[in-house]
Amino acid sequence: MGARIIEGRPVAEEIRKDIIRRMAELQLEGITPGLAVIMVGDDPASSSYVKMKGKACQELGIYSQTLRMPSNYPEEALLHTIDELNRNPRINGILVQMPVPGHIDVSKVVQAIDPDKDVDAFHPVNVGKMLIGEGDGFLPATPHGIQELLMRNGYEVAGKHVVIVGRSNIVGKPLAAMLMQKGEGADATVTVCHSRTRDLGSITVQADILVCAVGRAGLIKADMVKEGAVVIDVGSNRVQDPSSARGYRFVGDVDFEAVKERAAAITPVPGGVGPMTIIMLMQNTVLAAEKALKQHAGPKV
């Protein structure tokens, strides 16, 4: 019969409607959320992502600034730019598009961003809040998008064995931390696999929910997936395709055609997790504006 295809766009549209409602409430207070995106260099993939973020802001009515810097932009100048944005009340969210050139210390950049404007949720303060389960920080866009995708499609995580392939700071580690928390959309038993995991298939085949986020096209084969599992493919890999007008296409980390005959549900690439990442970033920007309004208003007496 084949797996159910879990599309990201319908869920992203649900969240988009909620964002529009929340923005209307902010506008009654005279506030339009603002996002600043800094891009250093001219990486093609980064440029594409930045354009998508700008378009999403425009469609939602979020004020946006895109600051494009040359690849030799000094680290000190970048830190100064971040400091100016930290102090700019017009800007609620700050995002430095990764990767940055090698002469720039990523850790310094991440820590320079005000935690209350860290909509990427990379600052140690927000990472720490996520890890201990405090609810007043930001959650990283892709992991939070995956969690929402599962919840809103009716896939219960509590008590399930979730296997995550990939231990990046962007997806694997934060997703593991989020899914093992107590609460809605969590309470899972989580196993994290990586490049040093022995006999990967013997572990992935145990998963009730399998998430792959390593950036290796077709890594997960059908015999590595349990019958009836839910498969979330985070990978986006460019492969040559002479039949395409562009000469290439994007595929995930999962052998989609084979695995969809074995899984109960699976996300496509593109069109699965991707739309969720952008909308969750927009949600974080609105959340940042709401937090700023609350701080400005001060405690009620």
Mind telling me the catalytic residues? 53, 97, 120
Question: Is-contact 172 142, C-beta < 8 A?
Answer: no
Hey, what are 217's tokens? 């096209």
- What residues are paired with 233 via a beta bridge? 212
Q: What are phi and psi of 210, to 5 degrees?
A: -115, 125
Largest CA distance in the chain: 67
Which residue's structure tokens are 């000190």? 76
C-alpha dist (Å) from residue 200 to 203, 208, 280:
6, 15, 30
Classified as helix, coil or strand, 16 is helix
Q: Rounded to an integer, what distance in angstroms lies between the CA atom of residue 9 and that of residue 267?
A: 11
Helix axes 274-297, 44-60, angle to 10 degrees: 60
